Chain A
Amino acid sequence: MLKKTTSILLAIIFCLTALTACSQPSTKENGDSNQVSASQTSPTQQAGYYPLKFTVYDDKGNEVQQTVPEEPKRVVVIGQGLAELMIHFGEKEKIVGLAYLDKSYSKYEEQVEQLPLLTDTWPSKESVIALKPDLIVAMSSAFTDERLGDISFWNKRGIPVLPGINYTMGRTIDSFFDDINNLGVVLNMKDKTDAFVEDQKARIKGIQDKASRATNKPRVLLFAGGQNDTYYYYGPSLCVIDEMVEGAGGEYIEVSQDTYVEMSAESILSINPDKMIVTEFQKSDSNAAEHLLFENSSLKNVTAIKKGNVMVVDYTNAIRGSLDLADLYEDVAEFVHPELFKEG
């Protein structure tokens, strides 16, 4: 009897100590002290994951060290794209403030609207401090003096930051996946993000394998509508769709290196692309640009227009990458090489 009670007591004590060890963030500096615990908590709260040290890149491309002392619970997000990632991976509850909206079509519209919105442009330092965040996830361009202040400004206040969507370093499909992986590491949900990225990469690889059988390389021009009826070409470092075109066995026409230039009817004529991809800033579901192309009599001899090879894509996804990246990749592949990718 005595034995039994002591063993039960011992077991209870053991469980309690294990539990307290898990609920208290370890104050050790090194984050790789993974203790084996006898607790029954979910793996996302395993002891010793935090404090976490990681390296981020600021808007100029310099490396900055960040430390997350414990699991972030109050996250301020600047940039709708990053908020959508958090929604998608089930971390919506942690967002205490959102700023800078895309104002374009998004399938997460409803969930984004439910988030506590600070402002749809850049927020002020004060209002972010007042939310007492323990992590700021933001477009890298937010950390300038005249916006949110430098990254060190927040670190001085013990608030780590995770910059993403860095155009200075070039926008590629890999950098989109990096943003997702970083979120996975910092919010301790690598299992979810890894699964997503692997699935996307597998689908992309499938397309590339199929595309390697192509016999020709259609020349594809990106035609991006800006504000007030101006149209631009975007260089490869400013968008992700160029990689999709190339990966699907097409040639992404480089009008100029690494920059964007305004397009005129004459320049389209002189380039004479086989196919054109059209997208419109903040008007993703409109076909205005497409109509504009077809109604423009001076363009009727352009190969792409003559054959009707014009595709309208979602701006955000084509330029910055979104969670439907692989879907768009498949659509682009089908557009570039219908003979290979047409289903059925």
Chain B
Amino acid sequence: MVSTYKEEQKNPSRMFNGSLQKRPAFSIILAILLVAVVMSVVISLSIGQVNIPFQQSFQILVHQLTGYQIHDAGEQLNGMFVDIIWQIRFPRVLLAMITGAGLALCGVVMQASVQNPLADPYILGISSGGVLGATFSIMLGFGAGGILGEFGVASWAFIGALIAAALVLVLASIGEKTSSVKLVLAGTIINAICSASSNFIIYFAKNSEGIRSVSFWTMGSLASAEWDTLPLVTASVVMATAFFLSQSRVMNTMLMGEEAAITLGVNLNFYRRLYMVISSVVTGVLVSTCGIIGFVGLIIPHIVRGVVGADHKRLVPASILSGSLFMMWTDVFARTVIPNGELPIGIVTSLLGAPVFMYMLIKKGYRFGGR
């Protein structure tokens, strides 16, 4: 796994050569992605269980955002439509956009940090830690009594995720130097322990209803999106994005391996930990808001890599935008595919994402560290 870039290590200079000559092409790709994200927000707003004409939903959006009325003063905006667009769909579309961006970003960072194509945002045991926290709270009734107020379960999920990540980091650094292999293995161990503990609690739980609530955490859902939940998620993802956009050089070095990094004078160990702490916090926030949405953080970076190459200068922004796009449209699918019902988005992301990835894999010339 780790030796995928043996070849690149031999000639690091060749590694990003190909991509540097495509700069104009890349800015076009980025522009297209940006426009697509904005368009998707507007379009996906008008899609849902209730049939609201595109024109109406656009009018409502403009009116709510700017106070400007583009419709005739004579006709009134339908109150129910305003409610659905502004209170239900818009927060949800925004949450999808932010969650997708956050997951894709954390995926890129984790893949670089542990130098492993199988890494995703949850690799440090964050997912199972979050589920364990949520399960603990749901089943044992913590949070119901307001230890941490109204967001008891979410807070517990966040705490669980962070404790798991911290344990992984500690476990990996015991003894000799932290290595990427040790991190992955430590993550696997903590994942196993947390999943088993959750299952233990679930198996001996006294209410079946609680179990159904737990399944929400394991399959992920954006149904709980509300205006109140957005600021925290937005702030953490935006700050992480700003930070990692400036870190492309270090991440490129990471992929070349330890020796190259030492040669280039980059303290890999320090950066690796820093990145992991930051992306753990972001992922923890995401998990506590919408449960575990699998596959996005694993697959989006790979797909984007296949298009723009492995240079993180391009990979990070392109992944963030693609993650947003992907998440918004999978959520549209999740909330419209069952008439009047909902499908957990975690199911949809894997079902739609896997075939795309399969195609990328079969396509010749795709390599994790590749050009």
Which A residues are closer than 8 A to B by beta carbons? 59-60, 99, 118-119, 121-127, 129-130, 132, 141, 144-147, 149, 157, 167-168, 235, 237-238, 258-260
Do B49 and A124 have beta carbons less than 8 Å apart? yes
Q: How far is the CA of A147 from the CA of B215 in the complex (A)?
A: 12
List residues of chain B with CB within 8 A of the CB of A237: 206
Given contacts A119-B339, A141-B212, 12 further A-B contacts (CB under 8 A): A99-B341, A118-B341, A119-B341, A122-B342, A123-B341, A124-B340, A127-B49, A144-B216, A146-B224, A235-B206, A259-B204, A260-B206
Q: How far is the CA of A235 from the CA of B206 in the complex (A)?
A: 9
Q: Choose one: A60, A99, A125, A129; the contact of B144 (CB below 8 Å).
A: A60
Query: Which of B23-31, B80-88, B244-252, B316-324 lies on the face that meets chain A?
Result: B80-88
Q: How far is the CA of A126 from the CA of B335 in the complex (A)?
A: 10
Among the interface residues A121, A124, A132, A259, which one has the most CB atoms of the partner chain B within 10 A? Answer: A124
Q: Choose one: A60, A121, A157; the contact of B341 (CB below 8 Å).
A: A121
Q: Choose one: A60, A99, A129, A145; the contact of B223 (CB below 8 Å).
A: A145
Q: Choose one: A126, A141, A146, A168; the contact of B88 (CB below 8 Å).
A: A126
Q: Choose one: A129, A145, A167; the contact of B208 (CB below 8 Å).
A: A167
Q: How far is the CA of A43 from the CA of B221 in the complex (A)?
A: 47
Q: Choose one: B49, B144, B216; the contact of A146 (CB below 8 Å).
A: B216
Do B84 and A126 have beta carbons less than 8 Å apart? yes
Do A124 and B341 have beta carbons less than 8 Å apart? yes
Among the interface residues B88, B206, B213, which one has the most CB atoms of the partner chain A within 10 A? Answer: B206
B73 close to chain A: CB less than 8 A:
no
Contact with A along B187-212 (1 / 0, CB 8 A): 00000000000000000111111001
Q: Choose one: A59, A129, A235, A259; the contact of B84 (CB below 8 Å).
A: A129
Q: List 19 A-B contacts (CB under 8 A).
A: A118-B340, A118-B341, A119-B339, A122-B341, A122-B342, A126-B84, A126-B88, A126-B335, A129-B80, A129-B84, A130-B49, A130-B80, A144-B213, A146-B213, A149-B224, A157-B83, A167-B207, A235-B206, A238-B207
List residues of chain B with CB within 8 A of the CB of A259: 204-206
Do A168 and B49 have beta carbons less than 8 Å apart? no
Q: How many A-B residue pairs have CB under 8 A?
A: 75
We find that the number of chain B residues with CB closer than 8 angstroms to chain A is 28
Name the residue on B nearest A99 (C-beta): B340
B220, chain A: closest CB distance, angstroms: 10
A124, chain B: closest CB distance, angstroms: 5
Q: Choose one: A119, A122, A168, A235; the contact of B209 (CB below 8 Å).
A: A168
Q: Choose one: A60, A129, A157; the contact of B50 (CB below 8 Å).
A: A129
Name the residue on A nearest B153 (C-beta): A145
Q: How far is the CA of A141 from the CA of B214 in the complex (A)?
A: 13
Contact with A along B37-65 (1 / 0, CB 8 A): 00000000000111000000000000000
Label chain B's interface by main secondary structure: loop
Label chain A's interface by main secondary structure: loop
Q: Choose one: B84, B89, B144, B223; the contact of A130 (CB below 8 Å).
A: B84
Instruction: Decide: A123 near B340, CB < 8 A? Known: A130-B49, A146-B216.
Output: yes
List residues of chain A with CB within 8 A of the CB of B147: none
List residues of chain B with CB within 8 A of the CB of A141: 209, 212
List residues of chain A with CB within 8 A of the CB of B264: none
List residues of chain B with CB within 8 A of the CB of A121: 338, 341
A255, chain B: closest CB distance, angstroms: 13
List residues of chain B with CB within 8 A of the CB of A235: 206
Q: How far is the CA of A301 from the CA of B360 in the complex (A)?
A: 62
List residues of chain A with CB within 8 A of the CB of B339: 118-119
Q: How far is the CA of A118 from the CA of B208 in the complex (A)?
A: 24
Instruction: Decide: A146 near B340, CB < 8 A? Known: A124-B49, A125-B88, A129-B88.
Output: no
Do B50 and A126 have beta carbons less than 8 Å apart? yes
A63, chain B: closest CB distance, angstroms: 14
Q: How far is the CA of A118 from the CA of B49 in the complex (A)?
A: 11
B331, chain A: closest CB distance, angstroms: 12
B302, chain A: closest CB distance, angstroms: 29
Do A129 and B83 have beta carbons less than 8 Å apart? yes
Q: Choose one: B221, B291, B340; the contact of A127 (CB below 8 Å).
A: B340
List residues of chain A with CB within 8 A of the CB of B207: 167-168, 238
Do B208 and A260 have beta carbons less than 8 Å apart? yes
B93, chain A: closest CB distance, angstroms: 13
Q: How far is the CA of A147 from the CA of B223 in the complex (A)?
A: 7
A41, chain B: closest CB distance, angstroms: 32
By Cβ-Cβ distance, the 9 closest A-B pairs, closest first, are A145-B224, A259-B206, A127-B340, A119-B341, A118-B340, A130-B50, A119-B340, A127-B49, A126-B49
Name the residue on A nearest B217 (C-beta): A146
List residues of chain B with CB within 8 A of the CB of A144: 213, 216
A112, chain B: closest CB distance, angstroms: 16
List residues of chain A with CB within 8 A of the CB of B216: 144, 146
B273, chain A: closest CB distance, angstroms: 34
Q: How far is the CA of A237 from the CA of B205 in the complex (A)?
A: 13
B169, chain A: closest CB distance, angstroms: 31
A340, chain B: closest CB distance, angstroms: 34
Q: How far is the CA of A168 from the CA of B209 in the complex (A)?
A: 8
Name the residue on B nearest A234 (C-beta): B208
Among the interface residues A130, A167, A235, A237, which one has the most CB atoms of the partner chain B within 10 A? Answer: A130
Name the residue on A nearest B219 (C-beta): A146
Q: How far is the CA of A146 from the CA of B345 in the complex (A)?
A: 12
